[in-house]
Structure 1
Amino acid sequence: MGIVECRQETKELEMKLSIRSKALRPLLALGLGAALTIVPIGVSANSAHAASNGGVLKIAFSSDPSTFDPQVCYDATCWDNMEMLFNRLYDYSPGGTDLLPQAAVSMPTISKNKLTYTVNLRAGMKFADGKPVTATDVAYTFSRICDPATKSPVVSFWNAVKGCEEFAKSPVGTVSGISVKSATQLTITLVQPNSAFVYVMAMPHASIIPQGTGSQQALKPLGSGPFKFVSFTPGQSIILTKNSSYWNTGHPLLEGVNEALGVSPEVQLLQLQKGDLDLMGDKLPNSSFLSVINDKKLAAQISHRVGLSTYFLTLNTKMKPFDNPLVREAVSYAIDRSALLRAVNDQGDPATGFIPPGVTGYVKTSMVNGLNVAKAKSLLAKAGFAKGFTTDLYSWNTQPWTNLDAVIQQQLAAIGIKINIKAVQMSTFFAAAATPGKTPMTLTFWIADYPDGSDFFQALLGCASAIPGGQNYPFYCNKKFDDTVNAGLANASQVESYYERAAKMMQKDNPVIPLYFGKNTTVFGSNVGNFVENPIWGYMISNYSLKG
């Protein structure tokens, strides 16, 4: 995520497995979670891919993680580490959106009124320090998300839990809707039926940590995942080692992971081609795209994927001049999406709305405003800006963002808006964009945390996420919009209709300008075995091996 953008790798559209957004909803509506087939997560050590156990995988990132705290994490570097260091109650199959039990022994049992979820934990699970994973730890983890002091960017999802909002006012003990029944069982009660809640429990931010360890997680993460944290040297490296007592026998296949920090995408690619690096932590540089995909020597190491992602502009509704709806509408008519795609080697499709294909709520019919320079100028004049104005656009300082910056700057100049580009490091971008009154415009993207439109609507545009540290960069709040999304979650059979209604309502306000739906090309080292990418996580390093 992600993702926003926050996560640099867009993800493949692989919706053919048994539990996807549309297939899961009827089961949830009937309370049949416990009837789902249970398969442990992981690639078999006897995979058909030529690979061997052991070895230390090498990956590099351009930026340090902003944090290791799983309840806060949203940048690309920490995202990959969440998958390796922590477990969640439920997680995704390596190559798809099939939800499977991880820390839970089975899918949740859902009450007839669809409000209470009963979860049973897997026996014998331990944290990396040897202490057992208990239901109390899960309750602590989830309650921590509702605590304002945590500054979790996903609290809007957890407001669905009874007592989460009240807990925020007095964060003592446990959220009232979360009840520990025994060391291995807890129940979670919702405010109203929510057909996407099982996905919320599979989000990286629901990664389980030991009770009372919240304050240490930012720099010394402790979880129950396949790898253990060894060290973090800012600007240099992150070192992980195999968790030899991991519950999933035979995993991980690697002995450890060494992560180099402060390495540009261009240098990452060179190191990978020389065999000095196994994985790139950043996107393939736009300037190298054609040479890489046309290199026959790399053909077996290239993965092309459609993403559950949207690239977009945000317009801060609380900052002048974007507090004026006419100005935001003018910007929406100034964008030439085809030109933007040419700048990124056509790695995407023009956005027809905010929700991408493969995610519940996607609508084929376009809901965005097409290019119309004359209308854009007319709207600016009507708003009192006939001569235009000057503003700042924040983005990341790597490709493809720097390529897109220049094109957007040129397109907005055509209607009289002068853009000062503020291209900054990823972690700096997230901090700035989440600060009220700091960023009038941002260029960013979002990869689905789960394949349901509520993920986009609530995290990026909901009133509850329009807070310092949140992901609602336009600081947009429309209660009717929120209520419509919630109505969709409560009425699984009509969710598509509610989401379309919410999307039209939001697009009329133009807090975001959807640009394109992402595609992605990944190149990986020739020594990597069992390579697969997940639509939600991206890399699944805990399943990889090294050949020979």
Structure 2
Amino acid sequence: MKWSDFATGASLICLLGFAAGGCRVADGPAELSVGLEGDLLGLDPHRHDESVSFAVMDNIYNRLVEFDGRMRIVPSLAVSWENPGENVWRFHLRPGVRFHNGTPCDAADVKFSLDRVRGTEMGHYLATVGEVRIVDGLTVELHTIRPSPVLLNKLTFIAIVPQGQPDTIVRPVGTGPYRFESLGPDRELVLAANREYWGPKPHFGRVRLGFYEDRGRRLEALVRGDIHLARDISQAELERDRGAADIRLEIIPGLSVGFLGMSLSRPGPFSKREVRQAIYWALDPKAWIERIELDAHPSDQFVSPYVVGYLPEHRPERPDLARARKLLARAGYPRGFAATLEVTPAAANRSAPVIVEQLASLGIKTRVRVLSWAGLTERMSAGRSPFFFVGWSCSSGDASDFLDACLHSPDNRQYGSSNWGGYRNPEMDRLIEQAGSTLDNRRRIELLHRAMALALEDMPLIPAYARSRTYAHHRRLAFVPRLDGSLNLAELRWSGGRQP
């Protein structure tokens, strides 16, 4: 996954050029500046299952296996693997790899990392792993509690850290193409190239990453030339900005869906399924998208069409206000009710007014409470947010990312680590676990579809739209978007090999 502030297989890339004048690029040594959406929640790769954190950590750390640009599993710290038994995965590690502090990376570090993840909000990726065993210095085995057909996909999210790391990492040490250099009081993160990297050497000696919660500020920084690459830039806004010189916009289909969430464990209207269904039918995602000029399309379910587990036959027509009002009356709220929606500053300026307006059609009077991204995620994780708006990305290309983390009941196996609303349904748990252990792919997809259909009936979350992933960058920057939405800085370079 990756959750995000919403303020496997697709190849469509839309390229738009904007050329008029000259974009300033810093003089001196090869240095890249990048603008990311949201804020950096921390520097511990196992503590934040979140989009911006992954964009940073993907460049400091490696995993056992990783996705390539087209979402195919490829070796990383593990050069090969096999299954000696149905519930055993044996990984052979790459020899000669060293962490940024000079210590060798071996099987003990892998075991430490995987054991460390269990007990964090990322533990759902390892929910089927029962034990990690060291075979020898460069061989490790994962013993699962049942067959795990998508375990390799899950391992693409688990960074390998040196053994003995503290409970909370504040100075990350990895094996990746870039090493941590500094995080300034202005929240600018500086990464320096790892010249001893075992893989292809990065082209930029230093990368500066800035964090902009407001989409407009990211665009301004890009147009001024303060940054060379920005993520999540609106095509409509860029087209209107006549100062957008030498900028190229690239759009690829996304794996993320924005939705409304609510607490189901506390008394009140949201605990009633009919209320949640009424809100679903009252929303008009198409009008919402057009109003905030978002590169997205309406979504009537919890995963994008490019994710395994999507229900292709589920295409209801929304909004249906008559149906919504009947459901609300049946729930005992014919005149609506009052609610408090918690959002980030970016969503407060864009999506929140639309949500308030569309819910008003049901008589729901919505007050908006604005929190920082860190503040909102803290309240959601603690189950204290009554009503919120966020997004979720199935970055492995599989719906189990969402189902395992967001809809399974929380338990000591790390399922439900992002079940912010406290949703519980034993039948949902059974379907999720059965899908997670079914080796027959056709049968497994049937189980994912059944789980998705049950979720659309219970409506513990309310889907709104599926976002495209947009990037804007200097036209001389050679950049190819990756289908999983990750940002591999080592792949970037100036076209022609020289800084413009």
Q: Same fold (TM over 0.5)?
A: yes
Is 1:460 equivalent to 2:432 in the alignment?
no
Q: Please show how residues 471-490 of structure 1 align to structure 2 within 5 Å.
A: 471-490=418-437
Match of residue 515 from structure 1: 464
Is 1:103 equivalent to 2:77 in the alignment?
yes
Counterpart CA distance in 2 for 1:6 and 1:449 is 15
Q: Please show how residues 33-52 of structure 1 align to structure 2 within 5 Å.
A: none
Match of residue 389 from structure 2: 443
Q: Structure 1 residue 62: deviation in Å?
A: 5.9
Counterpart CA distance in 1 for 2:466 and 2:210 is 30
Is 1:126 equivalent to 2:125 in the alignment?
no
Counterpart CA distance in 2 for 1:472 and 1:216 is 23
Is 1:88 equivalent to 2:60 in the alignment?
no
Q: TM-score under structure 2 normalisation? A: 0.88
Helix, strand or coil at the partner of 1:305: strand
Counterpart amino acid of residue 5 in structure 1: S
Helix, strand or coil at the partner of 1:533: coil
Q: Structure 1 residue 390: deviation in Å?
A: 0.9
Deviation string, structure 1 residues 73-127 (Cα, Å, up to 9, x no partner): 234432221111101001111x210111111112x201342x1000010000010
Is 1:146 equivalent to 2:118 in the alignment?
yes
Q: Please show how residues 23-422 of structure 1 align to structure 2 within 5 Å.
A: 55-61=30-36, 63-93=38-68, 95-106=69-80, 108-113=81-86, 115-147=87-119, 152-162=120-130, 177-203=131-157, 206-217=158-169, 219-248=170-199, 250-261=200-211, 264-280=214-230, 282-285=231-234, 288-291=237-240, 297-298=245-246, 301-319=248-266, 320-345=268-293, 347-366=295-314, 370-398=318-346, 402-422=349-369
Is 1:501 equivalent to 2:450 in the alignment?
yes
234 and 473 in structure 1: CA distance in 2 versus 1, 3 angstrom threshold: farther
Identity of aligned residues (%): 23
483 and 89 in structure 1: CA distance in 2 versus 1, 3 angstrom threshold: same
468 and 111 in structure 1: CA distance in 2 versus 1, 3 angstrom threshold: closer
Counterpart CA distance in 2 for 1:58 and 1:255 is 11
Counterpart CA distance in 2 for 1:105 and 1:384 is 60
Match of residue 173 from structure 1: none
- Give the gaps of 5 or more residues in structure 2: 13-27
Counterpart CA distance in 1 for 2:9 and 2:220 is 25
Helix, strand or coil at the partner of 1:260: strand
508 and 287 in structure 1: CA distance in 2 versus 1, 3 angstrom threshold: same
Find runs of 4+ consecutive structure 1 residues off by over 6 angstroms.
465-469
Match of residue 423 from structure 1: 370
Counterpart amino acid of residue 189 in structure 2: I
Q: Kindly indicate whether the alpha-carbon contact (under 8 Å) linking 1:528 and 1:545 is maintained by their aligned counterparts in 2.
A: yes
Q: Structure 1 residue 326: deviation in Å?
A: 2.1
Q: Kindly indicate whether the alpha-carbon contact (under 8 Å) linking 1:194 and 1:489 is maintained by their aligned counterparts in 2.
A: yes
Q: Structure 1 residue 290: deviation in Å?
A: 3.9
374 and 216 in structure 1: CA distance in 2 versus 1, 3 angstrom threshold: closer
Q: Kindly indicate whether the alpha-carbon contact (under 8 Å) linking 2:229 and 2:473 is maintained by their aligned counterparts in 1.
A: yes
Deviation string, structure 1 residues 371-397 (Cα, Å, up to 9, x no partner): 222332232222222222111112222
Q: Kindly indicate whether the alpha-carbon contact (under 8 Å) linking 1:63 and 1:235 is maintained by their aligned counterparts in 2.
A: no
Q: Kindly indicate whether the alpha-carbon contact (under 8 Å) linking 1:367 and 1:507 is maintained by their aligned counterparts in 2.
A: no
421 and 309 in structure 1: CA distance in 2 versus 1, 3 angstrom threshold: same
Counterpart CA distance in 1 for 2:181 and 2:104 is 20
Deviation string, structure 1 residues 338-389 (Cα, Å, up to 9, x no partner): 2112124362222132221121111211266732223322322222222221
358 and 287 in structure 1: CA distance in 2 versus 1, 3 angstrom threshold: closer
Q: Structure 1 residue 285: deviation in Å?
A: 4.9
Q: TM-score under structure 1 normalisation? A: 0.81
- Give the gaps of 5 or more residues in structure 1: 16-52, 163-176
Deviation string, structure 1 residues 131-184 (Cα, Å, up to 9, x no partner): 00011111111111113xxxx22222312111xxxxxxxxxxxxxx11001110
Helix, strand or coil at the partner of 1:429: helix
Helix, strand or coil at the partner of 1:214: coil
187 and 7 in structure 1: CA distance in 2 versus 1, 3 angstrom threshold: farther
Counterpart CA distance in 2 for 1:14 and 1:125 is 33
Q: CA-atom RMSD, angstroms?
A: 2.7
Counterpart CA distance in 2 for 1:450 and 1:201 is 10
Q: Structure 1 residue 468: deviation in Å?
A: 12
Q: Kindly indicate whether the alpha-carbon contact (under 8 Å) linking 1:210 and 1:223 is maintained by their aligned counterparts in 2.
A: yes
Count of aligned pairs: 478
13 and 475 in structure 1: CA distance in 2 versus 1, 3 angstrom threshold: farther
Q: Kindly indicate whether the alpha-carbon contact (under 8 Å) linking 2:5 and 2:344 is maintained by their aligned counterparts in 1.
A: no
Question: In structure 1, which of residues 491, 506, 524 is the aligned counterpart of residue 473 of structure 2?
Answer: 524
Counterpart CA distance in 2 for 1:368 and 1:455 is 24
Q: Structure 1 residue 513: deviation in Å?
A: 1.1
Q: Structure 1 residue 296: deviation in Å?
A: 8.7
Match of residue 41 from structure 1: none
Helix, strand or coil at the partner of 2:141: strand
Counterpart CA distance in 2 for 1:444 and 1:387 is 27
Q: Kindly indicate whether the alpha-carbon contact (under 8 Å) linking 2:234 and 2:470 is maintained by their aligned counterparts in 1.
A: no
Q: Kindly indicate whether the alpha-carbon contact (under 8 Å) linking 1:64 and 1:234 is maintained by their aligned counterparts in 2.
A: no
Counterpart amino acid of residue 416 in structure 1: G
Deviation string, structure 1 residues 217-251 (Cα, Å, up to 9, x no partner): 1x211111111111112433211111111111x41
Per residue, is there more strand in 1 or in 2? 2
